[in-house]
């Protein structure tokens, strides 16, 4: 049986629904103590005194760590960067008395119980010398600058140099539109809050402990490297385990400060320590950044775009230059001879922003795709027709490279057919349902189809089971399931005889799970190691001159139903479990490395594409917007598992609706603090907000992106949705709302 391409149920589903799946703060270890973080009460300044005496006097409180008594660590003597760190100097918890942002951790209370640690934290008295702060991006746009030289998000380059003369072409264009978009900050808010459990083990002859760390992370190896280098420990002394992640969305790509604090306390006390953050503290270590964009489009009367100007200015911290690819997508989607794409940052007194599902993509796509809709109305053209008129056949931002594959046209056609787009009356405010205005909108989505380096191990056990492992993560995307399918298919084994393990640094190295690259990256490594194990098994089976495989070549054999067979004569076979028996009763194992050929990949531009279609109802009196139905057509290469793939796209669509209509981290700039730092006031889409969602997977073949032909789907589902919602709201109301989220006040006024 072939498993790839089949809607296999999640192999980890039973553990999750029965509560057997354990998360970082649920691992109980002997002698566990508990840490509670104290957060700063100001935005910027200096701690002049910190009185911990009352907390230390409590029975059961073991220590209060501050900048005054924190142990020395290697990190403070070097500029260590994690796998996802931007240019700059990473934040160092408890480094000194300086306050860099509101909510900064300034103390850690460790006690025998969580309740006592929390109570002790409430007794700490801190005085500050405050300094004026700046947290308002819009008030300082003229001070925005080029980011520090280097590589931006996920190894993508910063904007390409201007092409042609966009100013002259814009001035000469008979039709033009110009718009300004403001995107507020957003926070990830996964259900599982960040926590770290550190089990303190034996010490070596130099007094360096062995630590087993259960961490909430999207990359156990990243946390391992972070801890080993910061605390000057051998990598062999640091084991990080993270088998399940209760949502990440990018927040777990970088090690967060509870990991540092838990390890610091465990080393100092020589005890096991757990540190968990509160929901409010989840708003203190990164977010999707505030961004202001200006887009100008110039076109001829027949709809040919002749000029593009897309500028973005985003907030970053004072200590790191976090950047996103915001404007590049415009150039990739629309090949216009006169184009200027610019991106700048403004340092503010905030924590560094952090990658959040489709970072930069969902922001930039909203601006260009609402601009395209506005241009379509200005020209009197159908929005799909305008996009097809300006369809790019190559990527000029990367030197006129051809696309490895691009079935975006099919996304437009199939999505429009499923949605019923031809029934649309293009006139704004022309469609009604009872008391509500009805609007239809659409937008294009685009995201990278990347592949990274990864390793995997495959072991065929003496009882005929295949155990495959890699130190990747599963943040709910279906990694456990898809890797099991790939392994089962590659070695022709029943899927019930295959076990895939992940989330442990004792396993082969894999990158952080992000960027929609895990299926292509780790999947390629799993395929490679299973092929290599198969070759080893074939050699073992062909070693004896009496074997029917003795004179066969690798090309002449196949694996099916747990057997090695001759292709021309499948009845000639040997069970894999019998091959293992030839190994003296020992398991047969193989470890392999998979990485893309950089020279080959440089020849192509690799992306996933989508078209999103949305219907909204807008109450004329109340200004409420409801997304009644949506269709997303995706060109994502080979679909490894339609069930988990659909789940990924649906999840992205839900978040796109949430982003368009609800999500907004509100900062009071007088205090420089996010005020709605809880799930009661930070609004996200819930079941009552979501109605009919449909997904189409367009057939797309791509032999270039990776050996599986699969493209990542984790982010493409969200990218086009906010623009499609905004365009539908315009069609319903006749009012173009450029800023997000589209709240009641913006609809009414």
Q: Is 46 exposed, middle or buried (0-12, 13-18, 19+ CB in 10 A)?
A: middle
Q: Where are the alpha helices (DSSP H) in 633-712?
A: 642-661
- Bridge-partner residues for 431, per DSSP? 438
Going by their DSSP bridges, the two strands 209-215 and 238-241 should be labelled as parallel
The answer to whether residue 715 is catalytic is yes
For 455-485, give the DSSP string. EEEEEE-TTS-EEEE-S---SSSSHHHHHHH
**CA-angle at 517, arms to 515 and 518, nearest 5°:** 120
Is residue 732 within 8 Å of residue 428, measured between CB atoms? yes
Look at residue 651 and give its three-state secondary structure: helix
One DSSP character per residue, 324-339 reads: ---SHHHHHH---SSE
Helix segments in 210-349, DSSP class H: 220-230, 257-269, 328-333
For residues 602 and 469, is the Cβ–Cβ distance under 8 A? no
Instruction: List C-alpha distances in Å: 132 to 101, 105, 672.
Output: 12, 20, 10
DSSP 247-271: --TTTTSSPPHHHHHHHHHHHHHTS
Q: Is the dihedral of CA 339, 345, 346, 350 positive or negative?
A: positive
CA angle 290, 321, 606 (to 5 degrees): 80
Q: Which strands make up the sheet holding 32-39, listed edge to edge?
A: 61-65, 105-111, 32-39, 272-276, 195-203, 209-215, 238-241
Torsion on CA atoms 238, 252, 350, 312, rounded to nearest 10 = 130
* Beta-carbon-side half-sphere exposure of residue 456 (alpha carbons within 13 Å): 34
For residue 19, with 0-12 CB atoms within 10 Å meaning exposed, 13-18 middle and 19 or more buried, which class applies? exposed
The phi, psi pair for 384, rounded to 5°, reads -70, -40
Q: Which two tokens stand for residue 525?
A: 């490594």
**Would you tell me how many other CB atoms lie within 10 Å of the CB of residue 396?**
18
Rounded to the nearest 5 degrees, what angle is found at the Cα of 419, between the Cα atoms of 416 and 420? 80
Terminal Cα-to-Cα distance of the chain (whole angstroms): 59
**Euclidean distance between CA atoms 243 and 472, whole angstroms:** 9
**Which residues, at least 6 apart from 194, have a Cβ–Cβ distance to it below 8 Å?**
24, 216, 251, 252, 256, 258, 276, 277, 282, 285
Name the catalytic one among 199, 296, 531, 715. 715
Asked if 600 and 327 count as a contact pair (C-beta separation under 8 A), the reply is: no
Q: Do residues 39 and 100 make contact, with C-beta atoms less than 8 angstroms apart?
A: no
By C-alpha distance, which of 364, 360, 345 is closest to 140? 345
Give the other-Cβ count within 10 Å of 501's Cβ: 16
Q: Give the residue from 261, 276, 250, 259 showing the smallest Cα distance to 225.
A: 259
CA 499 vs CA 470, 585, 645: distances in Å: 12, 20, 20
| Beta strand spans in 40-92 (E) | 45-51, 61-65
Residues 656 and 652: their CA atoms lie apart, in Å, by 6
Residues classed as catalytic: 715
């Amino acid at each position: 049986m072939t498993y790839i391409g089949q809607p296999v149920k999640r192999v980890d589903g039973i553990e999750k629904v029965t509560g057997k799946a354990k998360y970082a703060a649920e691992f109980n270890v002997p002698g566990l103590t508990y840490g509670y973080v104290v957060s700063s009460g100001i935005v910027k300044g200096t701690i002049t005194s910190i009185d911990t005496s009352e907390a230390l006097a409590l029975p059961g409180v073991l220590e209060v760590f501050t900048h005054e008594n924190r142990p020395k660590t290697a990190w403070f003597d070097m500029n260590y960067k994690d796998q996802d760190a931007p240019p700059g100097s990473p934040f160092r918890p408890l480094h000194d008395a300086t306050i860099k942002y509101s909510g900064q951790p300034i103390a850690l209370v460790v006690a025998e119980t969580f309740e006592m640690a929390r109570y002790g934290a409430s007794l700490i008295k801190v005085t500050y010398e405050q300094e004026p702060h700046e947290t308002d991006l819009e008030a300082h746009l003229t001070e925005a600058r080029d980011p520090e030289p280097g590589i931006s998000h996920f190894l993508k380059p910063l904007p390409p140099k201007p092409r042609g003369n966009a100013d002259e072409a814009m001035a000469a264009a008979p039709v033009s539109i110009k718009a300004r978009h403001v995107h507020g900050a957003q926070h990830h808010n996964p259900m599982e809050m960040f926590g770290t459990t550190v089990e303190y083990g034996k010490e070596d002859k130099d007094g360096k402990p062995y630590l087993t760390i259960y961490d909430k992370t999207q990359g156990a190896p990243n946390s391992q490297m972070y801890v080993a280098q910061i605390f000057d420990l051998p990598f062999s002394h640091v084991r990080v385990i993270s088998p399940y992640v209760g949502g990440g969305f990018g927040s777990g790509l970088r090690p967060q400060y509870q990991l540092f604090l838990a390890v610091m306390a465990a080393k100092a006390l020589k005890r096991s320590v757990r540190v968990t953050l509160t929901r409010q503290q989840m708003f203190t270590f990164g977010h999707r950044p505030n961004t202001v964009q200006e887009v100008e489009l110039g076109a001829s009367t027949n709809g040919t775009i002749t000029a593009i100007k897309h500028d973005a200015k985003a907030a970053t911290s004072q200590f790191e230059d976090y950047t996103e690819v915001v404007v590049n997508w415009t150039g990739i989607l629309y090949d216009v001879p006169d184009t200027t794409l610019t991106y700048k940052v403004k340092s503010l007194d905030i924590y560094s922003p952090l990658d959040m599902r489709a970072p930069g993509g969902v922001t930039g796509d909203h601006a260009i795709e609402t601009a395209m809709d506005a241009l379509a109305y200005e020209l009197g053209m159908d929005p799909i027709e305008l996009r097809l008129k300006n369809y790019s056949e190559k990527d000029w931002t990367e030197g006129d490279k051809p696309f490895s594959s691009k079935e975006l046209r099919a996304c437009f056609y199939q999505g429009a057919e499923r949605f019923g787009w031809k029934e649309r009356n293009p006139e704004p405010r022309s469609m009604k349902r009872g008391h509500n205005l009805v609007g239809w909108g659409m937008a294009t989505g685009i995201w990278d189809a990347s592949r990274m380096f990864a390793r995997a191990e495959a072991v065929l056990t003496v009882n005929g089971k295949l155990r495959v492992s890699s130190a990747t993560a599963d943040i709910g995307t279906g990694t456990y399931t898809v890797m099991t399918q790939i392994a089962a298919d590659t070695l022709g084994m029943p899927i019930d005889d295959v076990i895939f393990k992940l989330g442990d640094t004792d396993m082969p190295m894999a990158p952080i799970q992000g960027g929609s690259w895990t299926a292509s990256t780790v999947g390629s490594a799993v395929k490679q190691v299973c092929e290599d194990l198969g070759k080893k098994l074939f050699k073992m089976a062909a070693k004896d001159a009496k074997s029917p495989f003795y004179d066969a070549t690798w090309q002449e054999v196949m694996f099916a139903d747990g057997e090695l067979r001759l292709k021309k004569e499948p009845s000639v076979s040997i069970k894999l479990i019998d091959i293992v028996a030839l190994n003296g009763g020992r398991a047969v194992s193989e470890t392999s490395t998979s990485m893309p050929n950089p020279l080959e990949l440089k020849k192509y531009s690799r992306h996933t594409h989508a078209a999103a279609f949305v219907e909204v109802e807008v109450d004329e009196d109340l200004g409420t917007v409801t997304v009644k139905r949506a269709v997303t057509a995706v060109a994502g290469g080979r679909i490894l598992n339609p069930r988990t793939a659909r789940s990924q796209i649906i999840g992205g669509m839900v978040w796109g609706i949430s982003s368009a209509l609800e999500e907004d981290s509100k900062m009071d700039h007088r205090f420089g603090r996010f005020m709605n730092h809880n799930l009661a006031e930070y609004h996200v889409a819930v079941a009552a907000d979501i109605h009919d969602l449909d997904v189409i997977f367009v057939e797309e073949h791509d032999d270039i992106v990776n050996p599986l032909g699969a493209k990542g789907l984790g982010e493409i589902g969200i990218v086009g949705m906010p623009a499609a919602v905004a365009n539908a709201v315009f069609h319903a109301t006749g009012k173009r709302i450029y800023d997000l989220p589209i709240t009641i006040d913006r609809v009414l006024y």
